[in-house]
A and B are shown apart, each in its own frame.
Chain A
Amino acid sequence: MNFFLKLSKIDRRFIYLFIALVVVLPLILKPKFPVVVSKPVQDVYDYIEKLPEGSNVLISIDYDAASMPEQQPFLEALLRQLFKNKLKPILIVQWQLGAPLGTMGLEKIAKEMGAEYGKDYINLGYRPGYVAQMVGIGKEIRDFFKVDYKNIPLDSFPMMKNVHNYNDIALLVGLEAGATYLAWIEYAGGRFKQKIALALNAVSAPDAYYFYQSGQIVGLVGGMKGAAEYEVLVDKPDLAVAGMASQSYSHLVIILFIILGNIAYFIEKGMKNKEGGK
């Protein structure tokens, strides 16, 4: 009894300690968990699989280091699929501090898959003013991206020769940590009928279900779980799959705390009622 009463007034730092342990330990011990692919993730994968060879896929890096554990594994899995299917990624960045992450992922996977810069993929880097850009790409991408991230003119790259606006882009994939995706849906999707797939941080993924249900986005990859599913789909389990054990156990610990907290709550309530009865 006393234990539960103490528990109800537990210092929050004890909770933090438990969470830290269950996050870190599985990362070291690496227990395996089977990952089942959900429909919104499968839809993104299937849509890309059906794109004709040579199609351009615009990838927007709308996250930064904070969301790296959730977004980077998906970026890598996605790029693997694109290069394997001979699709051409065009990388742009809306969150300035995400630029190095996008470049890192792109270069890593391009090297691994033997893709050639300028011919099979391109990195256009960051430009300020995201809404103006989203509206502008509807007309001509060169109005904003005259040069690539290393200041080389766009027209000197063979793959950019026919890329002018959304008409030349088969799919837009937004990797999102904030609300930039709303503007993509509003401007690129709404105004220019651009097909969009999104990867969102787990904390904001439930919000994008609207657009998934209404067909405004072709699919949805939510958080590290979604990334893990994508890694399974491209048949290359990596960091996200490894993170699933930590996530499973930490959810379990939170549930246990909630249950204990409730037991304590009821005991306390019972005691108060008794006191009241006296």
Chain B
Amino acid sequence: MLKRTLLLILFLILSISLFSENDSLIFLENQFPCEGFYITGRDIPNDGGSGIEINWSFPDSLDNCFLTVLRRDEFGNNSVVATDLLVSSKQVRDVSSDEEPSRVKDGIKYYYTGILSKKIIDENLLNILKEKSYLKNGTYIFNNDTFYVTSETDAVISKASWFNLSRIPVLISLIIIAFVFLYYLNLAKSGKELYIRKINGLDAVEEAVGRSTEMGKPIMYILGIGYVTDIPTIAGLTILSRVSKKVAEYETKILVPSYDPVVMTTAQEVVKEAFTEAGRPDLYNKNDIMYITQDQFGYAAGVDGMMMREKPGAVFLQGLFFAESLILAETGHSIGAIQISGTTETAQLPFFVAACDYTLIGEEMMAASVYLQKEPMMLSSIAAEDLLKVFIMLLIIAGFVISIFAFGFNIGLFKNLFDHLVNALQV
């Protein structure tokens, strides 16, 4: 009986080794030419789950080798994570995506093995390796090519984080900002008077609309080439609302050529509401707010053409503008229209300043709706912005002073302080 069992075992071993011979995978026990190479796996921090990060460290001599990473799950299923990675790339991520949703699942134990080779890995070899339930750490030969199998990583489990720790500085800023805004909101509610300085460009709105009406010319309102997701476009729309109200009061016409259909639809609603509020819904004409094209210079050409034909008495350029800014503003100037412009694109501001009568510089544009309405609640947000600005200014001055002591006078304490400050502010 014992003999038979021994024979059976021998036969099994032989057949296994024969099988190995067949695929010519030969294990070389005592050779570790890749000493110092090991891979580690960990759950990707601060993510939504279904993701594992595989890192490896290696001696410089292996810089130009290729690495293939295999994954084994706790149920014994093998799969290939990535093949032929350059060792110098140091990291690969095993992540589920919309395309392949079932790569890594949360809560399951995964084990990773790396295969290091001098050449790109053979497709046949890959299939053989995928079939094996366990690969012993060491060097192997396959079809005269040697490759090295790392020891398997410890079990790695991916999980979703409930809080992104790397965003704590943002959270702190958010809390400070919210506190400041709420404080001023309360102040406004309690009836405290808040001040906003004069903005000439906005005082001129009435004059521009009035003069244009006197001349019997329409008003043109250009929202630029931003989308409705851009803050300057939203700011432009809030100013449009005020301007259209004036337009309705003066019983004149407003033209809004648009670059984006969503912006066009929003602008139609804004103008319609403004006309209704001014008691003149009959004057509203949907067709005056039209779509031109979503091509930057096609839009510029279309708007310029319209300016030359319609000769508006006042042109508002409020929104996001790029290279077409001057093409629009210069044409507006050439027809003698009063031009009130505003954008947050600092590169375009010089063009507007040169070609327009009034320019709202960046935050003036953002504050426009507040300025035109002057409600205490709205004003409170401007006061809050100012306080935050003071806070940022103090921070800049502090950073400046610390960096002078740290790098100008080479004082270690300040260097540390500077590093801490930079780290605290970094997201």
Chain A residues at the B interface, C-beta cutoff of 8 Å: 12, 52, 54-55, 64, 66-67, 97, 131, 139-140, 142-143, 146, 161-162, 164-165, 167-168, 177-179, 190, 201, 203-207
Interface size on B, residues (CB 8 A): 29
**A67: B residues at CB distance < 8 A:** 323
In the bound complex, do residue B89 and residue A177 qualify as a contact, i.e. CB atoms below 8 Å apart?
no
**B99: A residues at CB distance < 8 A:** 140, 142-143, 146
In the bound complex, do residue A12 and residue B334 qualify as a contact, i.e. CB atoms below 8 Å apart?
yes
Q: List 10 A-B contacts (CB under 8 A).
A: A55-B86, A66-B296, A97-B295, A131-B229, A139-B95, A139-B97, A140-B100, A164-B95, A168-B92, A177-B322
**A52: B residues at CB distance < 8 A:** 63, 86, 88
What is the CB-to-nearest-CB distance from A93 to chain B, in angstroms, rounded to a whole number? 15
Closest partner residue, chain B, to A65 (CB atom): B297
Using known A-B contacts A178-B322, A179-B322, A204-B322, determine if residue A142 contacts B97 with beta carbons closer than 8 Å: yes
Give the interface segment out of B77-85, B192-200, B207-215, B370-378.
B77-85
**A143: B residues at CB distance < 8 A:** 97-99
Contact with A along B48-89 (1 / 0, CB 8 A): 000000000000000100000000000000000011111011
In the bound complex, do residue A204 and residue B93 qualify as a contact, i.e. CB atoms below 8 Å apart?
no
In the bound complex, do residue A140 and residue B95 qualify as a contact, i.e. CB atoms below 8 Å apart?
yes
**Counting CB contacts under 8 A, is B1 at the interface?**
no
Secondary structure of the B contact surface, majority rule: mixed
What is the CB-to-nearest-CB distance from A101 to chain B, in angstroms, rounded to a whole number? 14
- Which residues of B298-347 have CB atoms within 8 Å of chain A's CB atoms? 320, 322-323, 334, 345-347
What is the CB-to-nearest-CB distance from B282 to chain A, in angstroms, rounded to a whole number? 39
**A165: B residues at CB distance < 8 A:** 93, 95
In the bound complex, do residue B334 and residue A203 qualify as a contact, i.e. CB atoms below 8 Å apart?
no
Closest partner residue, chain B, to A178 (CB atom): B322
The 3 A-B pairs of least Cβ separation, nearest first, read: A140-B97, A142-B99, A207-B347
**A205: B residues at CB distance < 8 A:** 347
Additional A-B contact list (10), CB under 8 Å, known A52-B86, A140-B99: A142-B100, A143-B99, A161-B82, A162-B85, A164-B82, A164-B97, A178-B296, A178-B322, A203-B347, A204-B322
Secondary structure of the A contact surface, majority rule: loop
CA distance A269 to B297 in the complex (A): 39
CA distance A255 to B207 in the complex (A): 35
**A131: B residues at CB distance < 8 A:** 229
What is the CB-to-nearest-CB distance from B38 to chain A, in angstroms, rounded to a whole number? 20
CA distance A161 to B80 in the complex (A): 12
In the bound complex, do residue B323 and residue A161 qualify as a contact, i.e. CB atoms below 8 Å apart?
no
- Which residues of B72-127 have CB atoms within 8 Å of chain A's CB atoms? 82-86, 88-89, 91-93, 95, 97-100
What is the CB-to-nearest-CB distance from B125 to chain A, in angstroms, rounded to a whole number? 16
Q: Which of B95, B225, B427 contacts A178 (CB 8 A)?
A: B225
In the bound complex, do residue A161 and residue B347 qualify as a contact, i.e. CB atoms below 8 Å apart?
no
In the bound complex, do residue A66 and residue B95 qualify as a contact, i.e. CB atoms below 8 Å apart?
no
Using known A-B contacts A140-B99, A142-B99, A161-B83, determine if residue A177 contacts B345 with beta carbons closer than 8 Å: no
Closest partner residue, chain B, to A139 (CB atom): B97
CA distance A54 to B65 in the complex (A): 12
**B95: A residues at CB distance < 8 A:** 139-140, 164-165
In the bound complex, do residue A206 and residue B347 qualify as a contact, i.e. CB atoms below 8 Å apart?
yes
CA distance A87 to B297 in the complex (A): 35
What is the CB-to-nearest-CB distance from B187 to chain A, in angstroms, rounded to a whole number? 33
**B229: A residues at CB distance < 8 A:** 131
CA distance A54 to B64 in the complex (A): 10
What is the CB-to-nearest-CB distance from A33 to chain B, in angstroms, rounded to a whole number? 25
Q: Which of B89, B296, B297 contacts A168 (CB 8 A)?
A: B89
What is the CB-to-nearest-CB distance from A52 to chain B, in angstroms, rounded to a whole number? 5
In the bound complex, do residue B427 and residue A66 qualify as a contact, i.e. CB atoms below 8 Å apart?
no
Q: Which of A146, A161, A164, A207 contacts B345 (CB 8 A)?
A: A207
**A179: B residues at CB distance < 8 A:** 320, 322, 345
Closest partner residue, chain A, to B229 (CB atom): A131
CA distance A164 to B295 in the complex (A): 32
**B97: A residues at CB distance < 8 A:** 139-140, 142-143, 164
**A139: B residues at CB distance < 8 A:** 95, 97
What is the CB-to-nearest-CB distance from B142 to chain A, in angstroms, rounded to a whole number? 20
